[in-house]
Amino acid sequence: MNQMTRDQMEAAAPLAAVPADQKSLIEIRDLYKSFGRRHILRGINLDVIRGETLVILGGSGSGKTTLLRHLMGMLRPDEGSIAVHFADSTMRLDRASHAELDAYRDRLGVIFQGAALLNSMTVLENVGLPLVEVRRLPPQVVYEKVIVALQKVYLPAGEILHLKPAALSGGMRKRVGIARAIVQEPELILYDEPTTGLDPVTVSGVNELTLDLQKRLGVTSVVITHDIHAAFIIADRIAMLYKGRIIAIGPKDEFRAHPNPVVQQLLTGSTQGPLTEAFLQGQAT
């Protein structure tokens, strides 16, 4: 297992075939992105199957956030394509116009690492923000939809509706962030490090909530994280991003037994291995 050469460890995994009875929602092909001389994404090929929860694991600096920002439509690739196949239309994020991006984001929910709630607004205003500002719904409809969204994430709407984010615990803030993401009933949800910085009990709560939403809403989810434990709870499939490439992808059991030493080091949390060497190399350069 440890006899792999560096090139073999860093080589992109073959594109996993989408099962015949399923369809891919997102198709990423040969995605490259550099910032100056730093090559962040170096040929990403990935399919996200409709209705699945795909967890993308990776260490610091592996390109996770850059990939996520491409999926949010906030970055354009230097090369390659990102196609999103909704039931009624296909969008190419790599060359989308402003109007197309707006249409895409109407069907997208994003859960940010720190929840990204607006501190000057109450929970009601935060969760209802896209309904008021984008859909311009009347206040009573917004109020009802916010209550429903808060109930879906098991928050006591009556108690927290008029509180500001600073008055909430970390776990509650995260749940409010999730409520804001699902209030527009998105078809695709992107999670950016959903469990980072939370205590173990809250982490379990967020994991259960993610699974629960997946079952009840049937949305497609892409989760970017380095939390191995959470990944094995919530994922249908797990992919590993390393030095800008997907080096391993597959269902949980398959991923757990992957022969690549990089994957094994991440799974075991060992301080000895290629991930540590790559990190030290990065520090030295």
Contact mark string toward another protein, 19..58, x via CB under 8 A: ----------------------------------------
Nearer Cβ to another protein (61/114): 114
Query: In the range 61-90, which residues lie near another protein by CB under 8 A?
Result: 72-74
> Angle 153-189-245 (CA atoms, 0-180°, nearest 5)?
135
Binding residues for another protein, total number by CB under 8 A:
20
- Least separation in angstroms between residue 89's CB and another protein is 17
Contact mark string toward another protein, 104..123, x via CB under 8 A: -xx-x-x-xxx-xxxx----
Nearer Cβ to another protein (55/181): 181
- Least separation in angstroms between residue 105's CB and another protein is 5
Contact mark string toward another protein, 132..151, x via CB under 8 A: -xx-----------------
Could you tell me which stretch among 21-29, 80-88, 100-108, 202-210 binds another protein (CB under 8 A)? 100-108
- Least separation in angstroms between residue 42's CB and another protein is 24
Place of tokens 């949010």: 72
Nearer Cβ to another protein (118/280): 118
Nearer Cβ to another protein (56/117): 117
252 binds another protein (CB under 8 A): no
**Cβ–Cβ < 8 Å for 145, 183:** yes
Nearer Cβ to another protein (130/205): 130
**Which one among 58, 130, 261, 274 touches another protein, defined by CB under 8 A?**
130
102 binds another protein (CB under 8 A): yes
Nearer Cβ to another protein (136/215): 136
Give one DSSP letter per residue of the chain, joined into a string.
-TT--HHHHHSPPPPPPPPTT--EEEEEEEEEEEETTEEEEEEEEEEEETT-EEEEE--TTSSHHHHHHHHTTSS--SEEEEEEE-SS-EEEGGG--HHHHHHHHTTEEEE-TT----TTS-HHHHHHHHHHHTS---HHHHHHHHHHHHHHTT--HHHHTT--GGGS-HHHHHHHHHHHHHTT--SEEEEESTTTT--HHHHHHHHHHHHHHHHHH--EEEEEE--HHHHHHH-SEEEEEETTEEEEEEEHHHHHT---HHHHHHHHT-SSSHHHHHHHHHHH-
Binding interface with another protein (CB under 8 A): 72-74, 102, 105-106, 108, 110, 112-114, 116-119, 129-130, 133-134, 180
